[in-house]
A and B are shown apart, each in its own frame.
Chain A
């Protein structure tokens, strides 16, 4: 089974600054990895996913993530934060079965 760890439960950034959200997974088999965003009182929306085709994955809203096998990491970045990026972000993984294993989530606040 997968284990996903998100470092930092809260991240605060200034508008226009870099957003960096950290995610590490544990597995001996490279998993399929996902980042989801959750706005208040809404369901989870897929930002991007890694399926072993390319290590740098581009998603919606200017986000991207890089798969690093040597570090078992899949960190999410966005070069310039916008106020609308304020939300909760979840990293998730699937390995040999169909169950998504989620991290605990990181709440992003954006300062004007």
Chain B
């Protein structure tokens, strides 16, 4: 596809359920990022992949959050035992160059609501 796609677009989970959010980056993009956007806030960095390597996971809020990109393309963000404070929009972004300053292109996001 032409841009970054994410699925599902909306997810409602009961507290304690596990969820998996998918990101399809732009083909050929080396870098992939996950951000969390709480209501009324700017996005905040969660984690960064360069190809299949997760080089930075310093933004993941707890050990319930796990991300992977096993073949260096599609990425999945998994949240175990969801809590109400996990409710947010999860944005995926990709860029052509590794790291640094290349433009990050964002997907439409997955809106997670935890009841």
Total CB contacts across the A-B interface at under 8 A: 57
Query: Are the C-beta atoms of B108 and A100 separated by less than 8 Å?
Result: no
The answer, among A45, A94, A104, for a CB contact under 8 Å with B42, is A104
Query: Are the C-beta atoms of A100 and B105 separated by less than 8 Å?
Result: no
A14 on the B face (CB < 8 A): no
User: What chain B residues lie within 8 Å of A32 (beta carbons)?
Assistant: 101
B25 on the A face (CB < 8 A): no
Query: Are the C-beta atoms of B48 and A46 separated by less than 8 Å?
Result: no
The answer, among B45, B101, B108, for a CB contact under 8 Å with A42, is B108
Query: Are the C-beta atoms of A45 and B101 separated by less than 8 Å?
Result: no
The A38-60 residues at the B interface (CB cut-off 8 A) are 41-46, 49, 51
Number of interface residues of A (CB under 8 A): 24
Number of interface residues of B (CB under 8 A): 26
Query: Are the C-beta atoms of B42 and A105 separated by less than 8 Å?
Result: yes
What is the chain A residue whose CB lies nearest that of B10?
A: A41
A63 on the B face (CB < 8 A): no
> Given A41-B108, A42-B108, A43-B108, is A102 in contact with B103 using a C-beta cutoff of 8 Å?
no
The answer, among B33, B100, B103, for a CB contact under 8 Å with A49, is B103
In the complex, how many angstroms separate the beta carbon of B70 from the nearest chain A beta carbon? 21
> Given A32-B101, A43-B4, is A103 in contact with B42 using a C-beta cutoff of 8 Å?
yes
A99 on the B face (CB < 8 A): yes
Query: Are the C-beta atoms of B43 and A44 separated by less than 8 Å?
Result: yes
What is the chain B residue whose CB lies nearest that of A103?
A: B42
User: What chain A residues lie within 8 Å of B45 (beta carbons)?
Assistant: 99-101
Query: Are the C-beta atoms of B41 and A98 separated by less than 8 Å?
Result: no
In the complex, how many angstroms separate the beta carbon of A47 from the nearest chain B beta carbon? 11
Query: Are the C-beta atoms of B42 and A43 separated by less than 8 Å?
Result: no
Query: Are the C-beta atoms of A44 and B31 separated by less than 8 Å?
Result: no
In the complex, how many angstroms separate the beta carbon of B57 from the nearest chain A beta carbon? 12
Greatest chain B CB density within 10 A among A45, A51, A100, A104 is at: A100
Lowest 10 A-B CB distances belong to which pairs?
A102-B42, A43-B106, A44-B106, A43-B108, A98-B99, A99-B45, A32-B101, A43-B107, A102-B43, A104-B42
A interface with B by C-beta (< 8 Å): 4, 32, 34, 36, 41-46, 49, 51, 90, 92, 94, 97-105
